[in-house]
Structure 1
Amino acid sequence: MSITRRVALAGMAGAALPGQAVSGAALPLAATDEAGWAALAAQYPVTRRVIQLENGYWGSMATPVLEAHREIVARLNRDNSWYARRAMVRDQAVVRERAAAAMGVLPEEIGLCRNAAEGLTALISQFRDVGPGDRILYSDTDYESTQGSMISLARARGAEAVKISLPEPPTADSAVAAYAEAIARTPRLKLVLLTHMSHRHGLVLPVARIVPLVKAAGAEAIVDCAQSFYQMRFSIPDFGADFVGMNFHKWVGAPLGAAAIWIRKGRTDAIAPSPAAPEARPDSADDRAYQGTVDYSAQLTIPAALDFQAGIDPVAKLARLQWLRDRWVGPLRGLDGLQILLPDDPALHGASTSFRIRGRTSVADNIAITDALLERFNIMTVHRAGLAGGACIRVTPSLFTTPAEVDALVPALRALVGEMAR
């Protein structure tokens, strides 16, 4: 048994949650079961010096995962290349198998990397079937680096990068219609970037409805599910696309530096090998996102993080996150001067939702709002820029967030909206 699995199981065995078997088999908790969620929250050694409502950056490791990571770091430091060049290959095989199983794919279809941005950059920039006069499509809800990769790909190949703006507020149908219209009016379309859950305002895009439109137009889709993986319940192939980037350091709760790309079996030739892999294997996803020497401890801790997550029912997890989100959105919905960017349709959001204060759409405006929330009300949030409607503030609770912490946002925003709305 690998050290990650051994240590993680040892940690979880003594920390069964109410309603959960000690064996680690997850039993559902109601979204409002405060005793159950408090027991889970106690497994996260997070600060309470601030109200942390900015949990979309990376996930905090639970104590058993943190302990496993520390042991792995110690072994890498102690045993160095003796472990790395001999025994580590076996532990890496376990990591690949466990990661692939969590993704719902085959181990040989994934390439490990440090973060979703790195993996998606490789998928986009090395996508072969784009040439002079071709077009590629992306939206204002996509991540900055993936937008940049699309623009760079177009410039390098003499193609045209077409950017669309999704409607505000969106519905599933209006989001699909925006892509359908853009696809229909874009001849020689070769590639479409789709972000499953936007880091800007939390929109969950109905990707599985859009990918068939992309393929019917003779194009391919690359899907970014960095924000949604293990927050929403799905398998990577559910999207219907052949190329996906994701990570393990957000909602899986692995250490920073653990991510992967997926290339459907038989499609590896569509992505050129990394320039750093001149003797790349034709069927190797790893050789598309070449790593070199990395901090192996992050990837080696993935099994421990997955073991911890196995004790949390995925349906209950999403329900709890959405319930925490609704505690601040509900009381503030309709407040004059406040725009909440997502509707309450649970298919369109998870934990995250962003807001704007009327007339405050610049980046500077929204930085000032986050500063006011932190300095006056002790609430940590983050500004997001890039949406066609202007900058906004993203709010993201986590599983260790208490109802009282979310509730504190309501009077804080009422006060700020009264002062700042134009």
Structure 2
Amino acid sequence: MPTHRSRREFVKSAAILSAAAVAAPSIADAAPAPQSKDHSSPLTPHPGALYDVARDEAYWTQVAAKYRITPRTTNMEAGYFGMMALPVLDAYHSYIDRANSESSYFARREYPAMMRAARERVAAFVGAKPTELAFSRGATEALQALIGQYNRVQPGDTVMYADLDYNAMQWAMNALAARCKANATWVDIPEPATRENILAAYTNALNANPRTKLLLLTHCNNKTGLLLPVSDIVKVAKARGVDVVVDAAHSFGQVPLTMSDMGADFVGLNLHKWIGAPVGAGALYIREGRLDAIDRAHADESAPLDRIESRIHTGTTHFATVMTIPDAIDFQLSIGIPQKAARLRYLRDRWVHAVANVKGVTILTPEDAALTGAITGFRLHNRGTSNANRALATTLHDEFGVFTFQRTGLAKGDCVRVTPTLYNTPADADKLAAAIRTIAARG
């Protein structure tokens, strides 16, 4: 389970990685990871210092061999769906076969205990009590329950979110405000962002809106990848009597974190992004003692009012998806979250540092090791329109064979998001950097 110490060690090592990274060498010095038919050999966390771990290509070639990667493109858009590693995929297939062959006999007699065991594994991973967690079909569903069923907003109150928050969560906050005859306001996250100006932006916004009741924070946003100093903002909010709901869809499994690290009472998690479980796996967290702030889901009486299960009702779950969650966690732990985070940051720095000083390139995620992980957004020639960034992502793919994705909703304009993952190589980062340099030179 990630600890405060592991997070501190990662941040320290990531700072070293960032400071030491230089312009990327030629693509020829790093070959693509081979695809292995034998993926049964177990992995163990690399024992070296994180700086050295991130650069041990022999080790990461072994990791990459645990994935079946399409030859159709160089995928640098891993943030949408994390992909199951082959051992996890094998387990998933076996669970599908079991659930399908044993049908309701298995579903009623044996599956409930397996679901509880899976919940216990997730709880241990994030430093929560099992009774503080309930499964959802993704972070979006979990966060919609937390926001839509929050019952502390009165007419004339305020709910607050930021331009970098996920669009669906912004809409949920708007709907909550409309239903309660309250006001919705938002914070523009500064560009370039620093810990100090982020804290100042939220502090000023909360001071200007003293009737704020609920604040949405996205730990790692899906647009630029900025990691907010959530625990510090939560302290500012709680001192003013403001509840906080945290969107941890992209940070859970990407960087070390625990519920106590963040300090928020309400959190939505994803399991099919950085944990690598099958699509359709997420979790809802409500800190013990705070259930009364979240209404029962749809007047659901199938679970007692004092249990978190009554706050979200997804109907019949996908048995195999839930059964696979422990296997996905096992695989991530076989690498180590601090080790994984250091590798992802190295791959991010590899392409970023190769283009950061190129004329016309604007990198939207800061170098601060505490504020940046794998994901980074960029613009070319200050063009923030949807059309410009959609065209840029298209050019990267169609002309250079690198798949990225346009992100919208930022106060200062759209961007292209880049998200490397465990099966990516330095050669992939170099390929992207070369493409960006070529496109930027066109003006």
Q: Same fold (TM over 0.5)?
A: yes
Local SS of the residue matching 1:204: coil
Q: Determine if the alignment matches structure 1 residue 134 to structure 2 residue 154.
A: no
Match of 1:356 among 379, 388, 403: 379
Q: Which structure 2 residues correspond to residues 255-334 of structure 1 after superposition, within 5 A? A: 255-275=278-298, 277-278=300-301, 280-334=303-357
- Deviation (angstroms), 1:185: 0.7
Q: Distance in 1 between matches of 2:42 and 2:324?
A: 21
Report the equivalent of 1:178. 201
Long gaps (5+) in structure 1: 1-10
Are the equivalent residues in 2 in contact too, given 1:111–1:287 (CA < 8 A)? no
TM superposition score normalised by structure 1:
0.93
Deviations 1:71-107 (A, max 9, x none): 1111111111010011111111211111111111011
Deviations, residues 30-56 of structure 1 (Å, cap 9, x unaligned): 111000000010001121321110010
Answering whether residue 218 of structure 2 is matched by residue 195 of structure 1, we say yes
* SS state at 2:42 partner: coil
Q: Structure 2: which 5+ residue stretches go unaligned?
A: 1-36
Where do 1:104-183 residues align within 5 Å? Answer: 104-183=127-206
Residue among 3, 8, 27 paired with 2:47: 27
User: Is 2:249 the counterpart of 1:226?
Assistant: yes
Q: Is the 8 A contact 1:44 1:63 kept in 2?
A: yes
Give distance in 1, aligned partners of 2:199 and 2:303: 37
CA contact (8 A) 2:374 2:421 kept: yes
Partner Cα separation in structure 2 for residue 250 and residue 26 of structure 1: 22
Query: Following the alignment from structure 1 to structure 2, what is the Cα–Cα distance between the partners of residues 120 and 288?
Result: 11
| Contact 1:45 1:63 survives alignment (8 Å) | yes
CA distance in 2, matches of 1:45, 1:342: 30
Secondary structure of residue in 1 paired with 2:370: helix
Residue 260 of structure 2 aligns with which residue?
237
By relative contact order (CA 8 Å, sep 6+), the higher-ranking structure is 2
Aligned to 1:7: none
Could you tell me how far 1:187 is from its partner in structure 2?
1.9
Write the deviation string for residues 131-187 of structure 1: whole angstroms up to 9, x where unpaired: 100001100010011101000000000000011101001011111110000001102
Q: Is the 8 A contact 1:266 1:283 kept in 2?
A: no
Per-residue deviation, 1:407: 0.3
1:409 & 1:233 partners in 2: Cα distance? 27
Partner-residue secondary structure (3-state), 1:71? helix
Give the alignment's TM-score, normalised by structure 2. Answer: 0.89
Report the Cα offset of residue 401 of structure 1. 0.2
Indicate if the aligned counterparts of 1:27 and 1:312 stay in contact, CA closer than 8 A.
no
Amino acid at match of 1:341: L
- Checking the alignment, whether the CA contact within 8 Å between 1:196 and 1:223 is kept in structure 2 is yes
2:39–2:87: 8 Å Cα contact kept in structure 1? no
Question: Shift of the alpha carbon at 1:210?
Answer: 0.4
Following the alignment from structure 2 to structure 1, what is the Cα–Cα distance between the partners of residues 165 and 226?
10
Offset, 1:237: 2.3
Does the 8 Å CA contact 2:163/2:189 hold for their aligned counterparts?
yes
CA distances 1:364-384 after superposition (whole Å, capped 9, x unpaired): 111111110000000000000
User: Residues 276 and 290 of structure 1 are in contact (CA less than 8 Å); yes or no, is this contact kept in structure 2?
Assistant: no
User: What is aligned with 1:4?
Assistant: none
Partner of 1:413: 436
**AA aligned opposite 1:27:** P
Instruction: Name the structure 2 match of 1:15.
Output: 41
The one-letter code of the counterpart of 2:93 is: R
The match for 2:360 among 337, 340, 348 is 337
Q: What amino acid maps onto 1:275 in structure 2?
A: H
Distance 1:219 1:47 in 2: 46
Superimposed CA distance per residue, residues 240-274 of structure 1 (whole angstroms, 9 cap, x where no aligned partner): 11110011111111101111011011111110010
